[in-house]
């Protein structure tokens, strides 16, 4: 009958009289996908007492259990299940009790029945959840959500059993409700929940539910499926979109095929096997990884205990370097945290390292690649890159030579002149020779050569301010500083990823310069960003992109760079200010803003950069 010996089944029936058992139940009769052979033993307890006794019996006799809800996100198996499948579909598990603004609901109730019943009683506020196929128990375990609301938003209390039959309970506040995952233990079966809704008009709420159901019918494909198969890396980055842009709609395996209506639905055309479905999932994952650098994770459940392993792709390990010792340390720590989170959302294993000197650490040797998010100092002047290169470790970003040239404003200025790249007139001062050429007149810009985030930079509007500005710049430089002729106009920046030139970002800041406050602290007021710019003609924007790419190639740029420019007010002439080989990656940083306008999400941006370094490692 199954791997579960007949004697144990007879004993179970003797010790648990009245326990409803079904034998050899086809998976297609209990799942929406309809894949798999037969369930040897399906138990449907009448109440929590019977469930508790069943769980204790299974625990004492080492009988594996598998909990099945409505079967809407379940991939059945062609193999023989090793134990018992439990489904909560009777009596109290299907009951709904409403009191004022609270509803007590059993785990086996479908979300549609829950919210439709509540609407009839004048309760609502969660209508988007009504269209999600599935039962309350499973929806709570995975924190099902739609259109900005999730189950965790309405739950006040939960109760259940662990697999040993022990009582378990928690308040909604005790549970960590994340995107499609929760802190509810894996070995807990939810029995019921108390949810809080809001008073509403019955007719209004029911109309919202009807609209939600209609929208799903129009948006989602017909046919047998398990719903969305892969988890969105983040709420605003659709797995379906990733599959689509990777060409996934052309994929199939046996009778399993990617829907041409919604790429995150894999359809059983009628005779698909478990192997067909798993093979197709693997094809999709490999396609998306190859195209976007993102490792998709599954959102469906597998009856086969080895199902997840059969479609696993070992993620790359990344050592992310942040912090450093430059004046931009705090910005680097913040940028590093954002990038680490994005990479983890993209499926990577990430080790964050707060690095204080350019050296090779054990974690860096173990990783597949190193991802420096270091601004200024040894992180951007080529020192850490040279150490990595000497150790044969592949890293994201420019090589050590390009880093050394681009961070040094004096070296990069000389290169711009050599390559006929437009830039403002400049002079180089030393501690021994602080005299400017006679043709230089205020306003002027005084800069230390190797600092970022405008540290040490002064715009001089009066001759009397010049000596102080020079003294300030020398605080951040051993010997030389740069003085530029000031160009009045709009400040723009051009990002480059790989060799894709991104849309321009125009920066409008409240003060006289785009300084540290304008970038990060905003004490003088908010800085405004326009991508693409609304005050720069399209032909000038195209010219800026062409100039940026020329400088990128002249510097020997690789993976990413950001080129800052001024569009002169009087004639729209362009002047390059500087190149940034490791630009900021905070929520207000310019390169991610431009990438977003180009249709590249932050997760995709970080993942694509990781893949560039991984590709070099394989060469």
584 counts as catalytic? yes
Span 291-341, pLDDT tens digits:
999 999 999 999 998 999 999 999 999 999 999 998 889 999 999 999 999
Residue labelled with tokens 């799942």? 31
Q: Shortest CA distance to 303 belongs to which of 33, 499, 569?
A: 33
Rounded mean pLDDT of the chain? 92
Span 341-354, pLDDT tens digits:
999 999 999 999 99
How many Å separate Cα 381 from the centre of its chain? 29
330 counts as catalytic? no
And the tokens for 396? 């994201």
The CATH class that applies to domain 406-605 reads: alpha beta
Whether the model clears a pTM of 0.85, i.e. scores above it, the answer is yes
Question: Has residue 2 got a pLDDT over 60?
Answer: no
394 counts as catalytic? no
Distance, CA of 520 to CA of 504 (rounded, Å) = 20
Span 226-255, pLDDT tens digits:
999 999 999 889 999 999 999 999 899 999
Question: Has residue 383 got a pLDDT over 50?
Answer: yes
312 counts as catalytic? no
What are residue 447's phi and psi, to 5 degrees?
-135, 140
Active-site entry in 70, 328, 352, 368: 328
Residue labelled with tokens 């010219």? 543
Distance, CA of 567 to CA of 119 (rounded, Å) = 58
pLDDT value for 453: 56
The rounded percent of the chain whose pLDDT value lies above 70 is 97
Cis peptide before 328 (omega within 30 of 0): no
E strands present in 431-573: 444-447, 458-460, 480-485, 489-497, 500-501, 505-508, 528-530, 560-568
Question: Has residue 430 got a pLDDT over 70?
Answer: yes
Question: Has residue 185 got a pLDDT over 50?
Answer: yes
Question: Has residue 15 got a pLDDT over 90?
Answer: no
Say which DSSP state 306 is in: T
What's the sign of the alpha-carbon dihedral 603, 604, 605, 608? positive
pLDDT value for 510: 77
Query: Contact at 8 Å (CB) between 39 and 30?
Result: yes
Please report, in angstroms and rounded to a whole number, the separation of the first and last CA atoms in the chain: 54
Active-site entry in 87, 329, 558, 562: 562
pLDDT value for 182: 94
453 counts as catalytic? yes
Q: Shortest CA distance to 85 belongs to which of 44, 116, 114, 51?
A: 44
Question: Has residue 588 got a pLDDT over 80?
Answer: no
pLDDT value for 513: 66
580 counts as catalytic? yes
Domain boundaries, the chain: 6-87, 92-216, 220-310, 406-605
Q: Shortest CA distance to 536 belongs to which of 557, 561, 565, 514?
A: 565
Query: Contact at 8 Å (CB) between 233 and 342?
Result: no
The rounded percent of the chain whose pLDDT value lies above 90 is 80
State which H helix or E strand residue 592 sits in.
helix 590-597
Query: Contact at 8 Å (CB) between 171 and 157?
Result: yes
Distance, CA of 359 to CA of 391 (rounded, Å) = 10
Q: In CATH terms, is domain 220-310 a member of 3.20.20.70?
A: no
Active-site entry in 352, 380, 578, 604: 578
Active-site entry in 381, 580, 589, 608: 580
Query: Contact at 8 Å (CB) between 464 and 444?
Result: no
Q: Shortest CA distance to 207 belongs to which of 294, 273, 120?
A: 120
Question: Has residue 481 got a pLDDT over 60?
Answer: yes
Q: Shortest CA distance to 304 belongs to which of 81, 564, 71?
A: 81
pLDDT value for 586: 82
Q: Shortest CA distance to 228 belongs to which of 281, 190, 189, 275?
A: 281
Distance, CA of 516 to CA of 522 (rounded, Å) = 9
Question: Has residue 11 got a pLDDT over 60?
Answer: yes
Fold of 92-216: 3.30.465
Query: Which band of pLDDT confidence, cut at 50, 70 and 90, is reported for residue 147?
Result: confident
Distance, CA of 421 to CA of 328 (rounded, Å) = 28
Query: Contact at 8 Å (CB) between 602 and 592?
Result: yes
Question: Has residue 195 got a pLDDT over 90?
Answer: yes
The H-assigned helical ranges of 111-201 are 111-120, 136-141
pLDDT value for 207: 95
Active-site entry in 34, 397, 520, 589: 520
Fold of 6-87: 3.30.43
pLDDT value for 619: 74
Span 55-74, pLDDT tens digits:
999 999 999 999 998 899 99
pLDDT value for 1: 40
Active-site entry in 36, 240, 323, 584: 584
Span 65-101, pLDDT tens digits:
999 988 999 999 999 888 899 999 888 899 999 988 9
Distance, CA of 152 to CA of 195 (rounded, Å) = 9
Mean pLDDT of 287-293: 96
């Amino acid at each position: 009958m199954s791997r579960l010996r007949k004697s144990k089944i007879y004993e179970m029936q003797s010790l648990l009289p009245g326990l409803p058992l079904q034998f050899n139940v086809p998976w297609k009769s209990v799942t929406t996908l309809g894949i798999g052979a037969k369930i040897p033993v399906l138990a449907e307890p009448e109440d929590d007492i019977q469930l508790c006794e069943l769980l204790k019996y299974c625990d004492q006799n080492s009988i594996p259990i598998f909990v099945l809800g409505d079967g809407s996100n379940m991939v059945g198996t062609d193999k023989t299940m090793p134990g018992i499948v439990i489904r909560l579909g009777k009596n109290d598990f299907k009951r709904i009790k409403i009191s004022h603004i609270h509803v007590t609901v059993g785990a086996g109730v479908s979300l549609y029945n829950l919210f439709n019943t509540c609407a009839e009683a004048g309760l609502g506020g969660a209508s988007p959840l009504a269209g999600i196929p599935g039962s309350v128990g499973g929806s709570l375990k995975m924190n099902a959500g739609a259109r900005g609301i999730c189950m965790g938003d309405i739950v006040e209390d939960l109760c259940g059993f662990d697999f040993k039959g022990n009582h378990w309970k928690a308040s909604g506040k005790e549970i960590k409700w994340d995107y499609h995952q929760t802190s509810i233990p894996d070995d807990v079966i939810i029995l019921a929940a108390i949810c809080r809704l809001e008073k509403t008009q019955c007719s209004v709420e029911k109309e919202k539910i009807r609209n939600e159901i209609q929208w799903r019918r129009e948006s989602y494909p017909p046919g047998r499926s398990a719903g969305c198969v892969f988890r969105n890396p983040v709420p605003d980055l659709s797995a379906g979109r990733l599959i689509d842009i990777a060409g996934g709609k052309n994929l199939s395996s046996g009778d399993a095929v990617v829907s041409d209506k919604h790429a995150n639905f894999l359809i059983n055309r009628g005779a698909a096997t478990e192997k067909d479905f798993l093979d197709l999932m693997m094809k999709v994952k490999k396609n998306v990884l190859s195209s976007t650098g993102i490792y998709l994770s599954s959102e469906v459940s597998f009856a086969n205990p080895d199902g997840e392993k059969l479609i696993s792709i070992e993620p790359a390990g990344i050592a992310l370097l942040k912090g450093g010792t430059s004046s931009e340390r705090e910005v680097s720590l913040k940028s590093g945290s954002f990038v680490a989170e994005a990479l983890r959302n993209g499926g990577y294993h990430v080790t964050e390292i707060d690095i204080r000197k350019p050296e090779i650490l054990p974690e860096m040797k173990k990783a597949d690649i190193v991802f420096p998010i270091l601004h200024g100092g040894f992180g951007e002047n080529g020192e850490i890159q040279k150490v990595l290169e000497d150790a044969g470790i592949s890293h994201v970003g420019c090589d050590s030579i390009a880093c050394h040239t681009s961070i040094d404003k004096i070296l990069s200025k000389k290169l711009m002149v050599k390559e006929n790249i437009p830039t403002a007139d400049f002079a180089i001062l030393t501690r021994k020779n602080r005299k400017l050429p006679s043709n230089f007149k205020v306003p002027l810009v005084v800069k230390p050569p190797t600092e970022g985030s405008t540290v040490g930079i002064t715009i001089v509007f009066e001759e009397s301010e010049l000596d102080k500005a020079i003294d300030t710049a020398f605080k951040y430089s051993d010997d030389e500083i740069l003085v530029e002729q000031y160009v009045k106009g709009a400040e723009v920046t051009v990002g480059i990823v790989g060799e894709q030139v991104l849309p321009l970002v125009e920066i409008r800041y409240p003060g006289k310069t785009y300084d540290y406050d304008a970038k990060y602290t905003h004490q003088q007021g908010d800085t405004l960003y326009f991508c693409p710019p609304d005050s720069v003609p399209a032909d000038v924007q195209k010219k800026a992109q062409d100039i940026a790419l020329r400088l990128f190639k002249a510097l020997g740029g690789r993976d990413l760079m950001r080129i800052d420019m001024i569009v002169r007010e009087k004639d729209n002439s362009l002047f390059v200010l500087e190149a940034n080989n490791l630009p900021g990656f905070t929520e207000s940083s310019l390169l991610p803003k431009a990438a977003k306008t180009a249709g590249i999400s932050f997760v995709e941006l970080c993942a694509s950069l990781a893949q560039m370094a991984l590709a070099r490692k394989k060469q």
